[in-house]
Amino acid sequence: MEQAVARILSTFNFKKLPWAFLIALSVIVMLYSIELFLLPINFFTFRPNEALKVRMIGSGPFYPGMKVSMIEVGDLAPHTKYAVRKKVEWETDRYGYRKRDSGITRYPIVLIGDSNVAGLGLTQEDMISEVLERRLGVSVYPYYSGEASRLNLFLNDQRFKDNPPDIVIVVTLGISGSADSKTQGSGSNQFLELGGAF
């Protein structure tokens, strides 16, 4: 075994290793720069939420201040002739939540929830918060978090401590296998928890 390793090491030219590493690193940096600075943010994704998803702790769930419009294919029969294509528009506020940035500091109603509140698969105007806002005539804020601790995130958000809403609605639609279904009961149950005054 030692002889085989010694033979491999003796045939390997270590002097070329730094140059090969630098060439590989420069190619990776060049490709990453092209993706970051030249290509649109949604070039490698199928849905706007995939393009805007932030993978860092300490910010909203999506990149702040973004607007993306693209043709989205639903989950039913993608890559077939039966796939349903639709134009979807996404806009995020300065905090990284899916809401047009209007400069409002206090929202009378806040919806807290998962992908249903974020409106995955829907265009901006079809989101539940936008529909409620149009029908009720008051501002509604969609507080989406992909984490099970979304209520804690909301309660610790300084924006809502400084300007508490009148009504908080926690939307939980149990789906089999999700974190919510383990704490909320059967995956077939669908219910809406209404919170009172904040």
Please, what is the end-to-end C-alpha distance for the chain in angstroms? 70
Does the pLDDT at position 131 exceed 60?
yes
- Residue 161 has a pLDDT of 93
- Residues 44-84 have pLDDT tens digits of 776 777 777 776 655 568 888 889 888 888 777 777 888 88
- Residue 139 has a pLDDT of 94
Q: What is the pTM of this model?
A: 0.67
User: How would you label 104-125 residue by residue, b for 16+ Cβ within 10 Å and e otherwise?
Assistant: eeebebbbbbbebbbbbbbbbe
Q: Do you know the residue count of the chain? A: 198
Domain definitions of the chain by residue range:
1-39, 40-195
For residues 184 and 172, the answer to whether their CB atoms sit within 8 Å is yes
- Residue 162 has a pLDDT of 94
Does the pLDDT at position 188 exceed 50?
no
- Residues 133-179 have pLDDT tens digits of 999 999 999 998 766 677 888 888 899 999 999 999 988 765 544 44
Cα separation, 149 vs 145, whole angstroms: 8
Per DSSP, the residues of 24-89 read HHHHHHHHHHIIIIIS-TTTT-SSHHHHHB--SSSS-SB-TT-EEEEEEE-SSSTTSTTPPEEEEE
91 DSSP β-pair partners: 67
Q: How far is CA 67 from CA 27, 55, 129, in A?
A: 30, 18, 18
Cα separation, 45 vs 52, whole angstroms: 10
Per-state percent for the chain, helix, strand, coil, to nearest 5: 35, 20, 45
- Residue 46 has a pLDDT of 67
- Residues 82-105 have pLDDT tens digits of 888 889 898 999 988 899 988 888
Q: Give the three-class secondary structure for 19.
A: helix
pLDDT: which is higher, 19 or 113: 113
- The pLDDT-based confidence of 39 (bands split at 50, 70, 90) is confident
For residues 164 and 187, the answer to whether their CB atoms sit within 8 Å is no
